[in-house]
Structure 1
C-alpha cells in the first residue's frame, strides 16, 4: 500500500469515525438535554460530552500534577501533554485533551494501515480498520481518554520493529509505557522480532538489543516521578485499591465473572453493563484461541505474543465489588491484532455488513448511555 493510498484510506476511516461519534453526540445531547443556546449546544455536543469519568482525572493531573496517591493510577504522558498544550498555546485542558486524542487516532489509523499492509492484502487491511472504527467502544478514541494515544504509540512501536528501526521502536515503547502499564508488553514483540531478524543465532546479537530497555524505562521513569511526588514508586499499583481491584488468576476471573453475570440479581443498566462486559471478554478470548488453532487465522508470532499478554493482563486484576470484567470492553479496543483476526474470520462480505451495522448500533447505544452520565466501562 502506497503512502498516498494509506492517507486516503486514513482520512476516509477517520471521517467515518467522526460521523458515527460526533453525529451520535449531536443526536443524544439533543435528546437528553435542553440547552438554552446554539453555542452551548455545540460546546456540549462537541466538547463537554467527551469529558467524563477518567477524563476528569487526566485534567486534574494536567492542572496540579500528582499530589496524593489516588491519581497515580493514571499514567503521566497524556495529562502532561495536555498541560504542555495548555501552557504553550493557551488551550483549555479539555480542548487540549480532545486535540491530542483525535490527532493520535488519525496517526494510529495511518500507521496501522501501513503495518498491516506488510502482511495482508488491501481488502483484509481495510476490513480490519473498519471493524476497529465501528467497534462499540471506539467512541473513546474521540474522548479525553488514553485509548488513541496508546494505540498510536503501540502501533508505532510495532511498525518500527517491522522496519528494524530498533531505536525508534524503543522510543515508541518508552512513551507507550508512560501512557499505560500494558505498554511494557511491547518488550515481547520487540524481543521476538529482534531474535528472528538474527535467525535466532546468539552470536549474531549486537549491542542494539539493549534498546529494548527503553520500553520498561518508561515505567521506571514514572516510578521515579511518583517517588519524588508522593514518596511511593509503586503508587500506580497501590492506587488500584480505590477501584477495588485485586489479583486473581485469569481462569478464576472468567469463571467468577460468568457466575456473577448469570446468577447475581441485577436490573436495568447494571445488568446490561455486565452482559456487555462479559460478551466482549468472551469475544477477545475466543478470537485469541481461534488464531492459535486455525491456520488461516494465525498471526505473526510477535502479534500473537502481544495479543495473548494484552488479553490476559486485565483478567489478572478484576474488581469483584464492581465487575470481574471491569473496563475490558474499553481495553480491548486498543488490541489491534483482535481486529485482524476478526477481519480474517469474516472472509465473506455477506457477514461483514451485518457485523458492521450491529457494531455501530452498539456504539450508539453505549454513547447514548455515556451522554446521560452512566459509567460505560
Structure 2
C-alpha cells in the first residue's frame, strides 16, 4: 500500500476524531451513561407500592410519578379542567413543561429529557470554565451534578432540567453579549417553575454592578436581559388573570391548596434537632449531609475563587446564596424536616463548582458516593410511588 495514501487516510481520521461534536460526545456519553444506569438500577429495586394514591395516581408507573403526573394531566386537560381537582390546584405548576408534554406526549418527553440532560452537562462545563474553574475542577463539578441527590427529577418529566437548561443558555448568550437572545432564554426559564425566576438575579447583579461602575453600555444590556425574565412571568400571570381572575394564583394556591408556607431559614434546623436526625430517620441523616455539603459549596464559591472582573461569577455567588435560603425557607405541605429542600437546592447549579473547589481528591469521592447513594435511594422511592423530596 502506498505510504503516502496511508498517511493521508491517517490524517483524515485524526481530523475526524478531533471534530468538536465527537469531543462533546466523548465528554458527555460516560457521564450521562452513569447517570441513567444509576437511576435505572435503582428503579428495579423491589419496594412495596405506596398506598397513598392521588386522584390520578392509577396512571403512575416507573418514572411517571407525582409532579410528572400533574404535568401530563395539565397537558391533557389544561388548567382548571382536570377531573377531580380544584380549579386552581394545578396553577402551582408553571406552563412550559405541560405545554411541551401536550405537544410531544409523555414517552417522547421522557426521551427528550435525556437529550436535555446531555445538553445541560455540556453547557455546565462551559459555565464552570467561564467563572474560573480549571478543566479538572469543571469536570468534577459536572460529574457531581450528574449524580446529584435529586437526579431522578432530571431524568423524568419534571421542570428542573428545563430550568437549568434555559438558565445556562441565557448565561451563555449573555456572555457573548447577545442580550436579546439571552432575554428569550430567560423568559423560557421563568416559565418552567418559580425557581426559574431566581435566575433573574444574574441580570440584576450585572445591572447594579454597571450602575456602580457607571458603565452605561451594560446598564442597558442588563435591563434588556432582565426584561426577558419579567416577560416570561408576566405571560403566565396574564393567562391566570384572564382564565381565573387571579394573576398570582400560582403563589396563593401554594397555601390554599398545597398547604405550603414560608419560614425563617433556621426553622428547618430546629425541626431537624427536634426530629432527632441521627436516630429517628436514617435517611434524613443522609439528606442533612447533602444540605451541609451544598452549604460548604456555597461558602467555597464565595471564598475559593479569586475576586475577578467576572460579573458571571458575582451573579453565581448571589444566585446560590439566595437560592439556598429559598430552598430551606419554603416548606411545602408538611412540617417534615428538609421536605423538599434538597431537591430545590440542586437546581442552583453553580454550587457544584463550589463543592468541586471545597474538597480534596479523597473527600470529593466521599461527596460523590453520598450524592449517588441518595440519588439511588430517591429514585427507588420515587419510581415505586413513595415520597422523595
Q: Say if 1:166 and 1:208, in contact at 8 Å, map to a contact too.
A: yes
Matches within 5 A, 1:168-183: 168-183=181-196
User: Partner residue of 2:14?
Assistant: none
| 1:161-205 Cα distance to aligned partner (Å, 9 max, x none) | 222221121111101110011222222212334665798224445
Query: Does 1:14 pair with 2:32?
Result: yes
Query: Does 1:57 pair with 2:70?
Result: yes
Candidates 289, 302, 314, aligned match of 2:299? 289
Secondary structure of 2:367's aligned partner: helix
| 1:323-342 Cα distance to aligned partner (Å, 9 max, x none) | 35321111122211111011
User: Partner residue of 1:134?
Assistant: 147
Q: Say if 2:61 and 2:383, in contact at 8 Å, map to a contact too.
A: no
Q: Following TM superposition, by how much is the alpha carbon of 1:257 offset from its aligned partner in structure 2, in angstroms?
A: 2.7
Q: Which is further off, 354-363 or 157-166?
A: 354-363
Query: Does 1:238 pair with 2:256?
Result: no
Aligned length: 349
Q: Following TM superposition, by how much is the alpha carbon of 1:295 offset from its aligned partner in structure 2, in angstroms?
A: 5.2
Q: Which is further off, 57-66 or 135-144?
A: 135-144
Q: Say if 1:192 and 1:302, in contact at 8 Å, map to a contact too.
A: yes
Q: Give the 3 Å change call, closer, same or farther, for CA 321–139 of structure 1 in structure 2.
A: closer
Q: Say if 1:100 and 1:149, in contact at 8 Å, map to a contact too.
A: no
User: Partner residue of 1:72?
Assistant: 91
Give, in whole Å, the separation in 1 of the partners of 2:316 and 2:261: 28
| 1:314-373 Cα distance to aligned partner (Å, 9 max, x none) | 333224733353211111222111110111123x32333343233323322222222332
Q: Following TM superposition, by how much is the alpha carbon of 1:294 offset from its aligned partner in structure 2, in angstroms?
A: 4.6
Q: Give the 3 Å change call, closer, same or farther, for CA 199–160 of structure 1 in structure 2.
A: farther
Q: Which is further off, 304-313 or 93-102?
A: 93-102
Give, in whole Å, the separation in 2 of the partners of 1:58 and 1:331: 18
Q: Give the 3 Å change call, closer, same or farther, for CA 74–260 of structure 1 in structure 2.
A: farther
Q: Following TM superposition, by how much is the alpha carbon of 1:264 offset from its aligned partner in structure 2, in angstroms?
A: 12
Q: Give the 3 Å change call, closer, same or farther, for CA 16–320 of structure 1 in structure 2.
A: closer
Normalising to structure 2: TM-score of the pair?
Answer: 0.80
Q: Give the 3 Å change call, closer, same or farther, for CA 292–120 of structure 1 in structure 2.
A: closer
Give, in whole Å, the separation in 2 of the partners of 1:374 and 1:82: 23
User: Partner residue of 1:342?
Assistant: 355
Q: Say if 1:82 and 1:100, in contact at 8 Å, map to a contact too.
A: no
Normalising to structure 1: TM-score of the pair?
Answer: 0.83
Give, in whole Å, the separation in 2 of the partners of 1:336 and 1:358: 18
Q: Following TM superposition, by how much is the alpha carbon of 1:225 offset from its aligned partner in structure 2, in angstroms?
A: 1.2
Candidates 226, 229, 235, aligned match of 2:243? 229
Give, in whole Å, the separation in 1 of the partners of 2:37 and 2:152: 11
Compare CA radii of gyration and give the structure with the larger one.
Answer: 2
Query: Does 1:218 pair with 2:237?
Result: no
Q: Structure 2: state its 5+ residue gaps.
A: 1-17, 50-59, 81-86
Q: Give the 3 Å change call, closer, same or farther, for CA 273–224 of structure 1 in structure 2.
A: farther
CA RMSD of aligned residues (A): 2.9
Query: Does 1:161 pair with 2:174?
Result: yes
Q: Give the 3 Å change call, closer, same or farther, for CA 198–8 of structure 1 in structure 2.
A: farther
Give, in whole Å, the separation in 1 of the partners of 2:206 and 2:345: 23
User: Partner residue of 1:42?
Assistant: none
